Amino acid sequence: MLIDLNCDLGESFGAYTIGKDEEMMKYVTSVNIACGFHAGDPLVMMQTVHQAIEHNLKIGAHPGLPDLQGFGRRTINITPQEAYALVQYQVGALQAMVKAQGSKLSHVKPHGALYNMAAKDIDLSRSIAKAVYDLDESLVLFGLSGSELTRAGTEAGLTVAHEVFADRTYQADGTLTSRSLPDSVLHDADRVEEQVMRMVEHQQVYAVTGEIISIQADTICLHGDNSEGVNLAKRLKDRLR
């Protein structure tokens, strides 16, 4: 059995450093690189692509809402047409940088609020999926397991990867717990490891309210800005092997 362990990286910009990108790259198999709207900047994008190629990782674009101050985690009402344009703009920029360094973009994973909005909104998801398909139909679309985004990707003719989260908690409807609520992010390594192994071995996860949710785990996300991210990634890699 094979499973992908992915991480959101390249989130530094200007004078600000976020996360421990090179350390995380030692333990994951694919990376989702911020494209400048919610985090990152052109130089950080280019450097992160270079590092990912050196570590032989699959490289994905991580497009977000235009909200640098809110790190792309605040809901902004956008039209499907706006979603199409902002996704294609960001993915295209990273795609060009990857090509310029002699590699190929592997996948696309929307970020933060855009990801969570698309999980529930089929019209928004279809616009995102079409933006990806029109750029390159060989790109894999990452979406929350069982969400409208994975449904839309399949409808569009894309390969989709159902994503689960190692360090986030879930609601009874299968969505992620809002970061505005307590216990939305997991930092305890034992708890993270237990959740991941249930996901992988049983295709299940416990909601914060106690219900058992059925999921499909094609790729597991760890957040690069989690304070325990590197330790969690190392433990998960060892355990999954």
In percent, the amount of the chain with pLDDT more than 70 equals 98
The answer to whether residue 227 scores a pLDDT higher than 80 is: no
Average pLDDT for 105-109: 98
The answer to whether residue 44 scores a pLDDT higher than 70 is: yes
pLDDT given for residue 187 in this prediction: 85
Would you place residue 226 in the very low, low, confident or very high pLDDT band (cuts 50, 70, 90)?
low
* 3 state SS for the chain: CCCEEEEEECCCECCECCCCHHHHCCCCCEEEEECCCCCCCHHHHHHHHHHHHHCCCEEEEECCCCCCCCCCCCCCCCCHHHHHHHHHHHHHHHHHHHHHCCCCCCEECCCHHHHHHHHHCHHHHHHHHHHHHHHCCCCEEEEECCCHHHHHHHHHCCEEEEEEECCECECCCCCECCCCCCCCECCCHHHHHHHHHHHHHHCEEEECCCCEEECCCCEEEEECCCCCHHHHHHHHHHHHC
Domains observed in the chain:
4-240 (3.20.20.370)
Residue 204 structure tokens? 């299940």
Indicate whether this model's pTM tops 0.85.
yes
Would you place residue 51 in the very low, low, confident or very high pLDDT band (cuts 50, 70, 90)?
very high
